[in-house]
């Protein structure tokens, strides 16, 4: 059977993408290297938390338009949506790791056909789409040498970065504008035609390098804005000013829109992507690097606040509210909250109770080091309450329960 689309990587981006295409009538085959993920999806269930995604996946699977497996199947188009984490080197602890992209790309060599479209959705350093082409052609030379020249002339490669927010994925996959950056104009046009099946937003054509840098730029811009807010919070702490009041008043100016500070920056995008720009042009990206350093250093500032509060007790009970990288999702990637809780537990300055309503089990990093409880139980037991994530559940808690507690509110939900 030949599919309309094959999506490689069924995580936070790939699964919603595959499901949306499938519910719009496309025959979609999804690929993941984790057997349990494949089995879960083929049952019409999901392994990640996202509003309404369970309904979408169930409908797509029951309709016969979505199937999952461990290896790619033949299709007209392929979307690569696998992780692009860091790969620390001697000279650069934040060097990008394209190993998953390379493995996924090479796995297509046995199934691609003349005229196929191969799209990289994973957020990647500039030049990654060209590398993807080279990896696939190299693998084809090895497994299908007699066909390489014909395939080389006809395969189309493009970068179409996702622009979706956890908690709003299904809405934004359809509504947001997209960028289709091709290695050739024909590839960009083919990518545009594919996404038109699901997108009501505009689809803008460009080259692959511009598309790659555009996604990195969007997230670096956010990172710089958050760094300004986080730096303000440090200054306000020293000067005895409430940062939340300050920002609220400053934002009354019609041309000022300062973002909100927090315990750091997490997630796979904003906490990662700016480093890809720094890697590409380290001598020119001074502001972007500094913003990253400000945000990466913020967890240590929060730890100092907690240590200061803990010094008032012999063996304090510390309730840490939230582990995910942002509110009301189950995504733990690059979460500053986990970094803070892990360091607190290792320092053994008190008994640590963690509250995280959006995950089923505690991360391995924290196993045996912290206790798990409901928000009410944790706050009742605690001497110190630390807000690390602004989940709605925490915002709605009865503030009278905080009487006689020391509070470190990194999100300003109880100011």
Judge whether 269 counts as a catalytic residue.
Answer: yes
Closest CA to 70 of 32, 42, 110: 32
Of 324, 326, 335, residue with least CA distance to 299: 335
**Residue of 281, 361, 380, 294 lying closest to 323 (CA atoms):** 361
d(CA 27, CA 194): 13
Q: Tell me if residue 34 falls in helix, strand or coil.
A: coil
Q: Of 269, 298, 320, 326, which residue is the catalytic one? A: 269
Contact 159, 212 (CB under 8 A): yes
Which residues have a Cβ under 8 Å from the Cβ of 48 and sit 6 or more positions away? Answer: 11, 12, 15, 330, 331
Question: CA separation (Å) from 306 to 245, 311, 340, 387?
Answer: 22, 9, 10, 11
Tokens representing 341 are: 């809780």
The answer to whether 148 touches 156, Cβ cutoff 8 Å, is no
> Strands, DSSP E only, in 364-412?
371-372, 384-387, 406-409
326 assigned to active site: no
Residue 246 has which token pair?
Answer: 């300050």
Active-site choice (27, 215, 298, 326): 215
CB atoms within 10 A of CB 408: 20
| Alpha carbon 295 to chain centroid, angstroms | 16
CB distance 329 to 166 below 8 Å: yes
How many CA atoms within 13 Å lie on the side-chain side of 351?
12
**Which residues are known to be catalytic?**
215, 269
């Amino acid at each position: 059977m030949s599919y309309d689309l094959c999506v490689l990587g069924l995580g936070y981006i790939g699964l919603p993408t595959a499901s949306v295409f499938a519910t719009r009538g496309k025959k979609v085959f999804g690929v993941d290297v984790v057997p349990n993920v494949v089995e879960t999806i083929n049952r019409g269930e999901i392994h990640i938390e996202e509003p309404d995604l369970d309904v979408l996946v169930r409908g797509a699977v029951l309709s016969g338009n979505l199937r999952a497996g461990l290896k790619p199947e033949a299709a007209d188009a392929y979307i690569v949506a696998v992780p692009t984490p860091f790969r620390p080197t001697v000279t650069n602890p934040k060097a990008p790791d394209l190993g998953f992209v390379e493995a996924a790309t090479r796995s297509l060599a046995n199934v691609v056909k003349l005229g196929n479209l191969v799209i990289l959705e994973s957020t990647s350093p500039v030049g990654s789409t060209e590398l993807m082409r080279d990896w696939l052609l190299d693998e084809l030379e090895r497994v299908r040498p007699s066909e390489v020249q014909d395939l080389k002339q006809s395969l189309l490669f493009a970068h179409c970065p996702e622009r979706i927010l956890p908690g709003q994925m299904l809405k934004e996959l359809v509504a947001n504008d997209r960028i289709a950056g091709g290695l050739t104009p024909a590839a960009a046009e083919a990518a545009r035609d594919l996404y038109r099946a699901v997108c009501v937003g505009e689809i803008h054509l460009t080259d692959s390098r511009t598309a790659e840098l555009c996604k990195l730029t969007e997230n670096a811009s956010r990172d710089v804005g958050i760094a300004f807010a986080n730096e303000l919070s440090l200054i306000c702490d020293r000067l005895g000013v409430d940062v939340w009041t300050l920002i609220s008043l400053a934002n009354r100016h019609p041309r000022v829109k300062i973002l909100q500070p927090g315990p750091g920056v997490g997630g796979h995008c904003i906490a990662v992507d700016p480093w890809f720009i720094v890697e590409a042009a380290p001598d020119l990206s001074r502001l972007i690097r500094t913003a990253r350093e400000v945000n990466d250093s913020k967890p240590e500032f929060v730890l100092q606040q907690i240590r200061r509060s803990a010094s008032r007790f012999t063996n304090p009970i510390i309730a840490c509210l939230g582990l995910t990288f942002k509110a009301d999702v189950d995504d733990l990637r690059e979460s500053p909250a986990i970094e803070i809780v892990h360091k607190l537990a290792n320092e053994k300055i008190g008994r640590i109770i963690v509250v995280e309503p959006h995950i089923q089990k505690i991360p391995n990093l924290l196993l045996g080091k912290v206790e798990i409880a409901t928000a009410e139980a944790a706050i009742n037991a605690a001497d110190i309450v630390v807000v690390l994530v602004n989940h709605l559940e925490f915002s709605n808690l009865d503030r009278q329960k905080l009487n006689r507690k020391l509070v470190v509110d990194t999100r300003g939900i109880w100011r």
